[in-house]
Amino acid sequence: MRREWAALPKTVVTEIAERVGGIIGVRAAPTGNHAEIASTVVGTSGMVFVKAASTGRSVQTLRYELTATRAVDWFPPAVLWHFERDGWLVVGAELLDGPHPDLSPGSPDLELLLVTLKSLQGTPAPPGTWFTPSGRLGFALPEMQGRTLVHSDINPTNLIRTATGMRVVDWAWTTEAAAWVELALLVQWLIGSGHSPAQAEEWLAQFPAWASVGHDTLDAFAAMNAAKWEVKAEQSKDGWVHDLAAWTGEWAQHRSSYTAKP
């Protein structure tokens, strides 16, 4: 859960200040809430995006994300430095400059996303120990196994439209899986951005991995993903959980009615 910059011990702030030539200002990220600290830091020698964690689970998550972002070129922000001090893990990354994209039907940002995703779809997972599909999602199909680098949480707040292309942040769920799994996990966000399930599938049909995955596999994936979010929604009051339950449910409904057609 997000905490104030003031939660950082003085020793940690001093180490950050040394790396940016003295801190002029700090601005907390307006989106996301899992990382304890996620802030733009303006220093005399430039700007950097800082993520920091101090509690067991969040340190583990940030350490995993650090390993992933250091192993992958260009898509994630480059890691500039990192250190551990007084129980805190602190990572300074390239500040990606730009807005989150608009993924609604017909948006020009979709073209930029297409370029980035096609490239990501062709990137094998780097050597390392990454989440398996079932470890990541809590359900599995044999077809979900694969060797591709799958971010697995591509959503508008984890995308930044920069002058040099659409970049991806928040690699805490990096997974080694079949390429289509990335696309199947994007359906819910396309629906959440205003696509009908059919429009979302039409857009995804531009990817070879989507075109080659079996209908039955997608039906099963959509049903299992929706069932998972339905259970989560029964146990949570968080708006985003209910949104995901609704959007995954819409897709599953669409797939089952499509399959039922003669």
Ligand X SMILES: Nc1ncnc2c1ncn2[C@@H]1O[C@H](COP(=O)(O)OP(=O)(O)OP(=O)(O)O)[C@@H](O)[C@H]1O
Which residues lie across from 176 on neighbouring strands? 149
Using CB distances below 5 to 8 A depending on partner kind, what does residue 38 bind out of Mg ion, ligand X, none?
Answer: ligand X
142 neighbors 221 (Cβ within 8 angstroms): no
> By CB under 6 A, what part of segment 126-185 binds ligand X?
157-158, 160, 169-170
Which residues lie across from 52 on neighbouring strands? 37, 90
> By CB under 6 A, what part of segment 77-136 binds ligand X?
77, 93-96
The nearest distance, CB 196 to ligand X, in angstroms, is: 25
Q: If binding is defined by CB under 6 A, does position 38 make contact with ligand X?
A: yes
78 neighbors 94 (Cβ within 8 angstroms): yes
Q: Nearer to ligand X by C-beta: 158 or 175?
A: 158
Question: Which residues fall within 8 angstroms of residue 101, CB to CB, at 6 or more apart?
Answer: 107, 109, 110, 112, 113, 156, 159, 161, 166
Using CB distances below 5 to 8 A depending on partner kind, what does residue 44 bind out of Mg ion, ligand X, none?
Answer: none
Q: Nearer to ligand X by C-beta: 171 or 251?
A: 171
> DSSP H helical segments within the chain, as ranges?
10-20, 56-71, 109-121, 133-137, 179-184, 187-192, 197-204, 208-212, 215-234, 239-260
Q: If binding is defined by CB under 5 A, does position 201 make contact with Mg ion?
A: no
Q: Nearer to ligand X by C-beta: 62 or 200?
A: 62
Q: If binding is defined by CB under 5 A, does position 158 make contact with Mg ion?
A: yes
> How many whole angstroms separate alpha carbon 201 and alpha carbon 254?
10
Locate tokens 């303006």: which residue?
A: 42
Q: Nearer to ligand X by C-beta: 151 or 254?
A: 151
> How many whole angstroms separate alpha carbon 53 and alpha carbon 1?
10
The nearest distance, CB 50 to ligand X, in angstroms, is: 9
- Contact letters (x/-) for Mg ion, 98-137, by CB under 5 A? ----------------------------------------
Q: Nearer to ligand X by C-beta: 49 or 64?
A: 49
Q: Which two tokens stand for residue 143?
A: 């077809």
Positions touching ligand X (CB under 6 A) are 29, 31-35, 38, 49, 77, 93-96, 157-158, 160, 169-170
